[in-house]
Amino acid sequence: MGIDAGFDMVPRLSTGATDRHNWDTFIRIIKDMYKDDTQVEIKPNYIEFNAGEHPMLPFEGHKFLRFSSKISGSCANVEIYIDTVRRVAEVHFGSRVKYWNEIADPCGVYDWKLVHESFRSYEQRDEPEPIASIAQLITGTDPIQNIGIPLFEIAKIPGKGRGLIARLNIAKGTRILCEKPFFTVASMSPNVLEPIIAKRLRAISKDAQRQFLSLHNNYPGKHPFSGIFKTNALPCGPDSPVGGVYPTICLINHSCIPNSHNNWNDDTDHETIHANRLIKAGEEITIAYNQEGDTATRRAWLTNTFGFDCNCPACSRSASEIRVSDARRLRMKKLDDDIGNGDRMVRRPKDSLKDCHELLKLLKEEYDGCAVVLEARAYYDAFQVVITHGDQARATGFEELEDEENDDTKGTGCCEL
Ligand SMILES: C[S@@+](CC[C@H](N)C(=O)[O-])C[C@H]1O[C@@H](n2cnc3c(N)ncnc32)[C@H](O)[C@@H]1O
């Protein structure tokens, strides 16, 4: 037991230039103040105070949430550090520094789980992110999202009909769209589906009916509604037999190396689209209707399932580039199968981990750094391998990497743009 005390940074600092500059200055002053104090240790990515519960200050300010420790009993020697660091922090960050003491307040502003997550993130430096705008560089967030300017326009795309074009640079992880389907229905033969869709259409507004009927149809004929459904429906979750049709999301064309990711949110019954990487203004926004297999397999699947011949950048590569890509995808499939072998994971965990490592490297090469969902899966596999062998520390690291990738593709659950 004992009394906790310390301070929280509220709101937390951004990755923008101003906050970074203030934090760097603050850290420089702290280092200078304690340069002769043997209890204050400079680690590669943070400063550790070897007193009380060893509070820390990371070199990356946006990771910092709390500086605190128990201050009673054997921990009493830490109180002077907390007090001094807090005063210096107040000079730089003013009222963002919220002092708390367990005697007066129950505890700080942040939940301990979040605080412990932030501590773990100190260990490794973040990869620098490509910046979408000057404003993002300064403020650390992409302000375009907050002012409601449409991120895309609908335009004609050569060889593909209509599509979505980015009007501005869109930062990785940005939620581009969040849409409710006109309706959802299980896929079935056209003659059974046709009257079911007709009934669903009668239940929606005239405007929505018009939008549905304006969608592309690769299967014109006696079952027009089913044709539109088959051309446009996206499954409501991976492997779901139920599909949804959307006013705008259904205008997004396919790419075998997509720059965005679509995700069905079961809690809100919405489909979301997030940027996988920085999308430059003028670039087409794409998702993958399916990403699996070598070039021929993917193209055959797209023709059979959606009725079109894919002309995305991956399928339009030269024959020699396609050979390299196909060999890589084949190797990735083999690695994925081997990693999924539970017996091997138990008996030869080092081999399984080596496979995860190679898979992550190949994913980065093949998808040009935008395979976030597949990378999240590989991190999850690595997590499984190490947790099976009781390596909690490494498991936590892989879990965090998986969470980061998932946050970039699924967002945090809210359906507002
Ligand atoms: C869901 S719709 C996308 C919006 C469509 N372009 C439109 O004009 O309404 C799917 C259709 O778009 C076209 N399309 C999508 N991705 C394509 C690609 N990579 N290559 C060629 N055509 C594509 C095909 O005609 C496909 O059947």
Question: CA nearest 53: which of 40, 68, 66?
Answer: 68
DSSP 24-35: HHHHHHHHHHTT
pLDDT (tens digit per residue) in 275-325: 988 999 999 999 999 878 899 999 999 999 888 999 999 999 999 999 999
* pLDDT at site 417: 37
Q: What residue ranges line ligand 1, CB within 6 angstroms?
A: 159-163, 215-216, 218, 231-232, 250-251, 253-255, 306-308, 310-312
What's the 366 CA to ligand 1 centre distance in angstroms? 23
Cα 364 → chain centroid: 15
Which numbered atom of ligand 1 lies nearest the CA of 255?
Answer: 19
Coil, strand, or helix at residue 185? strand
What's the 161 CA to ligand 1 centre distance in angstroms? 6
* pLDDT at site 373: 82
Across the chain, mean pLDDT equals 88
Query: What pLDDT band is residue 146 in, cutting at 50, 70 and 90?
Result: low
Nearest CA to ligand 1 atom 4: 251
- Mutating to test ligand 1, I would choose from 152, 160, 229 the residue with most ligand atoms within 8 A of its C-beta, which is 160
State the pairing for strand pair 152-157/270-275: unpaired
What's the 157 CA to ligand 1 centre distance in angstroms? 9
* pLDDT at site 148: 67
Which numbered atom of ligand 1 lies nearest the CA of 218?
Answer: 27
Question: CA nearest 410: which of 248, 252, 263, 240?
Answer: 263
Ranges 175-189, 240-254, 264-278, 340-354: which has the least confidence: 340-354
- pLDDT at residue 413 tops 60: no
State how far the Cα of 215 lies from the Cα of 258, in Å rounded to an integer: 21
Tell me how crowded residue 345 is: count the other CB atoms within 10 A of its CB. 20
Distances from the Cα of 283 to the Cαs of 168, 353, 367, in angstroms? 9, 36, 16
What's the 407 CA to ligand 1 centre distance in angstroms? 27
What's the 145 CA to ligand 1 centre distance in angstroms? 27
